[in-house]
Structure formats: structure tokens, C-alpha cells
Amino acid sequence: MSIVKGRALVTGGSGFIGSHLCERLLNEGYDVLCVDNFYSSTKDNIAHLLPNPRFELMRHDVTFPLYVEVDEIYHLACPASPIHYQRDPVQTTKTAVHGSINMLGLAKRTGAKILLTSTSEVYGDPLVHPQTEDYWGNVNPIGPRSCYDEGKRAAETLFFDYRRQHDLKIKVVRLFNTYGPRMHPHDGRVVSNFVVSALQGSPITIYGEGQQTRSFCYVTDLIDGLMAMMQSPDDVTGPINLGNPGEFTIAQLADLVIEQTGTASPITYLPLPEDDPVRRQPDITRARTQLGWEPTIALADGLATTIEYFRSTLD
């Protein structure tokens, strides 16, 4: 008879990253409560987990209080791609702020450890490169991306204030670009955009001249980081960057996608969106020293698996 390690709550658990986290927690021996309102996710991501007796799915919006008994809370809930979070920006801010207040209240009542997946967007269009956790960022508070950027910054504030005021066991990680199977095909993120366009033979759209950079972390590497952070000592609160420090231009990514898909898709160019960061690369010194974590999967390898996922999904 297997011993259950505890009960873990994953908000946003049917999303791209959340579904991989739920799967990993089950494999590690946890009971898992997956909470999602399916605003930007799909049940398809967790359908294969439903027969597992240690997995429970609850449709719930985290902007409303939740009354359950759990040992650990992974708070992922919030639309994370511009297409989704700009569709209803007020609701995005409410999800980031009210959702965090409700989950922190749950952690306070149950004594659970709670982890927030914040974002590299808290750095805005950075004036420091690569980005370290002590950099305060260069964020436009009134732009079209502000609902997400400032919402996550406010969520971080709440987490650290709850620790100072109520001695909560908090963990804050800042996620950089993550990719892999179960990405939404139309979420507007650069990897899914390029791969779907290539597989469909549609033009691959590059914004600007393609010289802006991003760092791409494969999803299983990221899940390793989340698990390491939750299992770290209580005095390791973060914030800690989780991402792959390999830096690629968008043009390089497009070339790699074209090479691996064998597509004849042409490349088209459009103006850069407002407040789109020019450079993005994590400094992961803290993750290496405090968590013993760093990514291991190269972009070419992770991209091959991601392309095969989209190929099968689109077919």
C-alpha cells in the first residue's frame, strides 16, 4: 500500500503548466486537487488523470473564496498569454489580486505551504540584462499589458506581506518563457504561433525585425524547478527566477522551427506590439545555489517534442 505524501492544491491545474504539475504530483505520491474555471484552459489537458482515484477536479474561480483542506498550494491560476489576459483585463487583475488574497487566506487557515508562480513580466522591458531577482523592473503601469504585469507584482506584494504579518510559509518563483506539449495552439505565444503556422503552411509572423530575444524553458524542466522550490527549506521564500538562460533571437527561433518542420511557410514582418520587451534572459544563480536546479533540455530537443505534439493535435 503506497503512502500518500499529502494533499496538494493546484489552481489553474488544467492549464498548460498546471496539467504537467498535476501529473508530476500524482507520480510523486500526492493526492491532487485541481481547481480551474477553464477561462483559458481545457479539460483535454487533464482528461488522462481523471481515472486516478487520487486526482480530483473542481470547477472554481479563485476570485471567490475556496474552503478545502490541503497541505500544499501551487497557485498558478491566471491567464498568462497576451491574447487571453487582454481579453478581459479587469478580470485578469482581479484573478491576480483577489485570487492571491483568497489562496493566501486558505493557506493561513490550513497552515499550508503556498507557492506563487509569478512571471518575468514583473521586469517589464528590462534595463538590466540578464535579469536578477533584485532588479525592480521597468514596467508601464497603464499600458495594455499592465493588467498582467502589475497584477503579478501586486500578488508578490501580498505574498510577502502575508509572510511578514502572519508568518505564512510562502514561495515565489518568476517564470520565464516556457514551452512544450499541451500549449494552447492559439494562445499568441511565440513558440505555439510559429509551430502552428509552420505545420499549417501559413506565414510565420515576426514582430519587429526579429532581433528581440527570449529564453525558452522546456516544461518538464520547469516542473522540476517548481517541485524543488516547494520542497526547499521554509526560509527559502524567493523570489527565484525559473527559466532557461539560453538566449535566442526570435529570428533564430523561426529558423529552427522552419528547419524542424520542413515547412515552406514564408516569414512576414509586422510592427512590435506596445511594451513588448526587447531582451529577456533570466539570471538563475539563485535557483542553482538555493534549489540545486537548472534546466537540462536544449531548445532543439524540446522543440522537436513540441512540434510532434502539435502535429498530432492539429491532425
Dihedral class, residue 12 (left if φ above 0, else alpha if ψ from -120 to 50, else beta) = left
Per DSSP, the three-state class of 13 is coil
Q: What mean pLDDT is predicted for residues 205-233?
A: 95
Percent of the chain at pLDDT exceeding 70: 98
Q: What is the pLDDT of residues 240-266, one digit of tens each?
A: 999 999 999 999 999 999 999 999 899
Top-confidence residue, 280 or 217: 217
Q: Is the pLDDT of residue 276 over 90?
A: no
Task: DSSP for 205-273, please give it.
Answer: EEETTS--EE--EEHHHHHHHHHHHHTS-TT----EEES----EEHHHHHHHHHHHHT--PPEEEEPPP
Lowest mean pLDDT among 143-147, 154-158, 233-237, 240-244: 143-147
**What pLDDT band is residue 123 in, cutting at 50, 70 and 90?**
very high
Top-confidence residue, 40 or 72: 72
**What pLDDT band is residue 2 in, cutting at 50, 70 and 90?**
low
Quote the pTM value: 0.94
What pLDDT is attached to residue 80?
77
Q: What mean pLDDT is predicted for residues 91-111?
A: 96
Question: Which residue has 479539460 as its cell numbers?
Answer: 43
Rounded Cα distance between 107 and 91, Å, is: 23
Domain regions of the chain by residue span: 7-314
The C-alpha cell that represents 141 in the structure block: 503601469
Average pLDDT score over the chain = 94
Catalytic residue numbers, as ranges: 148
Q: What mean pLDDT is predicted for residues 150-171?
A: 97
The listed CATH number (3.40.50.720, 3.10.310.10, 3.40.640.10, 3.90.600.10) that belongs to domain 7-314: 3.40.50.720
The C-alpha cell that represents 66 in the structure block: 475556496
Q: What mean pLDDT is predicted for residues 210-234?
A: 96
Lowest mean pLDDT among 19-28, 38-47, 78-87, 165-174: 78-87
